[in-house]
Amino acid sequence: MCGIVGILGHEPVAGQLVDALKRLEYRGYDSAGVATLEAGALTRRRAEGKLRNLEGRLRDAPLSGTIGIGHTRWATHGKPSESNAHPHATDRIAVVHNGIIENFRELREQLEKSGAKFASETDTEVVAHLVTDEMKKGKNPVDAVAAALPRLRGAFALAFLFAGEEDLLIGARKGSPLAVGHGDGEMFLGSDAIALAPFTDTISYLEDGDWAVVTRKGVQVRDATGKIVERAVLKSNASAFLVDKGNHRHFMAKEIHEQPEVVGHTLAHYLDMAAERVSLPMTLPFDFKKIERVAISACGTAYYAGLVAKYWFERFARLPVEIDVASEFRYREAPFSPGNLALFVSQSGETADTLATLRYAKEQKQHVLSVVNVPTSTIARESDVVMPTLAGPEIGVASTKAFTCQLATLLCLTIAAGRARGVLSTEDERNLVRAMIEVPRHISEALRLEPQIEALSRDLVKAKDVLYLGRGTAYPLALEGALKLKEISYIHAEGYAAGELKHGPIALIDENMPVVVVAPFDKSARREGVFEKTVSNMQEVAARGGKIILITDPHGAKEAAALSLSTLVLPDVATTVTPIVYAIPVQLMAYHTAVNMGTDVDQPRNLAKSVTVE
């Protein structure tokens, strides 16, 4: 994840900017830079690699400006290099950016036609030129940013510094977080309170779509419609703890809201977004062409991520997949033929059952690949190859952001497998990668359903049992929805393949039974009538008085909303990536139900974050 910092100070700020960036090192980065104003002119220092390289540049050529922005970059568009490092600048403006500008290609073409000269391969640089373009039309910095922001598509956070403006920084957030720090005659911008902890503990968090005009006197925040809004000023405890809750009540809420950013970060690790292809940064110690079968093993939520991956591997890599929960896998003495692939998925990397299965697979001469969130964990250390999920520390016991990052990673691996096996065309890969690049934005859009989900969770607290139904990759999502609800709200819930309803669970349905149906419209499966079959299942539920909560897209809502008590309408996304986007409403539903029940959301009874016993 890229890190952003901005300072309106009294003393030269370059050293402070670097200090703040050091506190963001935990997010990972490959280059860094700062920009300040020297006698009103924008001046930058940037360096590839660690912050000590940037410090070296600043020692050789110090900066004296008292206003500035800084950045640690994790490459998305364009390799790690000094020219791709932020801040990106024109003669009028410097900008730092976290996230993805999806429509950078078309914007760059338009800007180049009107004479803009680009100096990097990044998506970020279009923002600098776009705002400059507006300023050349005579707009002041604030109006220029106001005109440019609506033209940017994606999930991102930005901080701007302007030539000749000694008392102005502008920050904007859409999807990625950004906080404003309040000092004594000084003001700050930062990706999180942790970066700003050395300077201030007084923080206001921008909400999605907000942008902030910051001067030394204070901040004026506008929402996405341009209306001036107040955002609460809070005391942060980030100086005491490296990980804090931000302005959220629980870590789980914070982690749900981090997903546009961390999924974007994870995708950036495995995709070459500019080339629209998968580009794994590690060498796989096996050849997918020679793999005949994949065995996936994991526990709980990580197992459901593996179950989604089974659908993907079979469809896009034409590889047979066997999957089981780790506690069963290892004892059923499954036969393995040597040289195949055993795949393990784990947030903590310490889950005892998963680890024991990994060791068994090694004995059986399998290639061992793990998708792990804690890179120093035992599972990571004992694997032949590790694909890290870059979700950052997950504190809430109920797994949320690790799940969506696991899905993002597994889809990248599937595409790499499909390509290596010669069963996925370049065109198909490009379409899949395009759909993945849009996922962080779609997650942000899904998060906007929160007020509606909070309202319907007030009814869910009255339920004793809840059924979740789904077909295809929505089936593992139904399982995950039920697991999330039961573990944090203690309401009994079951996930079922929708087609199994009539083989038993339908007996449970009466007017007291909420039934959550996860049903993206799925155009690709239209010819098999998958969505229509789920609608038939909904009819069976409705006929028996069951209260349906439908999670779908605009097409699905048109066809089936009449059958449901509530319909959550998600954006229309490519079918393949629906499990990542549809995870958001099921997580929020469990979260708000638990909050309304008054349970200990972050540390539900009887559960541990890292299950190191069998």
Distance CA 384, CA 387 (A): 10
Active site residue 2: yes
352 touches ligand F6R by CB under 6 A: no
Candidates 298-306, 495-503, 511-519, 564-572: pick the segment binding ligand F6R (CB under 6 A).
298-306
- Assess 58 for contact with ligand F6R (CB under 6 A): no
> With CB under 6 A as the contact rule, which of the stretches 71-79, 259-267, 300-308, 564-572 interacts with ligand F6R?
300-308
33 binds ligand F6R (CB under 6 A): no
> Measured from the CB atom, is 302 or 424 closer to ligand F6R?
302
x/- binding map, residues 382-401, to ligand F6R, per CB under 6 A?
Answer: ----------------xx--
Stretch near ligand F6R under the rule CB under 6 A, chosen from 138-146, 165-173, 316-324, 344-352:
344-352
**Cα separation of 51 and 22, whole Å?**
7
Please name which of 422, 407, 356 lies closest in space to residue 586, comparing C-alpha atoms: 407
Angle between helices 578-597 and 450-460 (to 10 degrees): 50
Nearer to ligand F6R, 377 or 564 (CB): 377
Assign 3-state DSSP to the chain and report helix, strand, coil percentages, each to 5: 40, 25, 35
Q: Could you say whether residue 348 binds ligand F6R (CB under 6 A)?
A: yes
Q: Figure out which of the listed residues 31, 354, 378, 473 binds ligand F6R, where binding follows CB under 6 A.
A: 354
Kind of pairing, strands 169-174 and 154-162? antiparallel
300 binds ligand F6R (CB under 6 A): yes
| 299 catalytically annotated | no
DSSP letter at 240? T
300/520 with CB nearer ligand F6R: 300
Least Å distance, CB 202 to ligand F6R, is: 34
Q: Which of the stretches 254-262, 293-301, 427-435, 489-497 binds ligand F6R when contact is defined by CB under 6 A?
A: 293-301
Of the two residues 301 and 564, which places its CB atom closer to ligand F6R in the complex?
301
Rounded CA separation 529/75 (Å) = 41
Q: Give how far the C-alpha of residue 368 lies from the chain's centroid of Cα atoms, to the nearest Å.
A: 26
Residues of span 464-483 touching ligand F6R by CB under 6 A? 483
302 is a site residue for ligand F6R (CB under 6 A): yes
Fill in the DSSP letter of residue 524: G
264 vs 300, beta carbon nearer ligand F6R = 300
The answer to whether residue 587 forms part of the interface with ligand F6R (CB under 6 A) is no
Which C-beta is closer to ligand F6R: that of 214 or that of 355? 355
| Residue 562, both tokens | 């009449």
Residue 157 as a binder of ligand F6R (CB under 6 A): the answer is no
> Residues 180, 183, 186, CA angle at the centre, nearest 5°?
90
259 lines the binding site for ligand F6R (CB under 6 A) = no
Structure tokens that stand for 344 in this block = 């393990």
Q: Measuring CA to CA, which residue among 317, 378, 391, 314 is closest to residue 344?
A: 378
CB 391 within 8 A of CB 2: no
When asked if residue 578 is in the footprint of ligand F6R (CB under 6 A), the reply is: no
Buried b (16+ CB within 10 A) or exposed e, 556-578: bbeebbebbebbbbbeebbbbbb
Residues 6+ apart with CB under 8 A from 572: 521, 553, 554, 555
Per the residue annotation, which of 50, 139, 533, 609 is the catalytic one? Answer: 609
Q: Is the bond preceding 87 in cis, omega lying within 30 degrees of 0?
A: yes
At closest approach, how far in Å is the CB of 600 from ligand F6R? 14
Q: Looking at beta carbons only, is 398 or 435 nearer to ligand F6R?
A: 398
346 is an interface residue for ligand F6R by CB under 6 A: yes
CA 69, 74, 77: angle at the middle one, nearest 5?
A: 100
305 touching ligand F6R, by CB under 6 A: no
487 near ligand F6R, rule: CB under 6 A: yes
CA angle 518, 521, 525 (to 5 degrees): 110
> Which residue of 122, 247, 351, 593 would you call a contact of ligand F6R, by CB under 6 A?
351
Residues in a beta bridge with 154: 101
**Judged by CB under 6 A, does residue 537 bind ligand F6R?**
no
Cβ atoms < 10 Å from Cβ of 110: 16
Catalogue the active-site residues: 2, 609
Q: Which residues bind ligand F6R (CB under 6 A)?
A: 299-302, 346-348, 351, 354, 398-399, 483, 487, 611
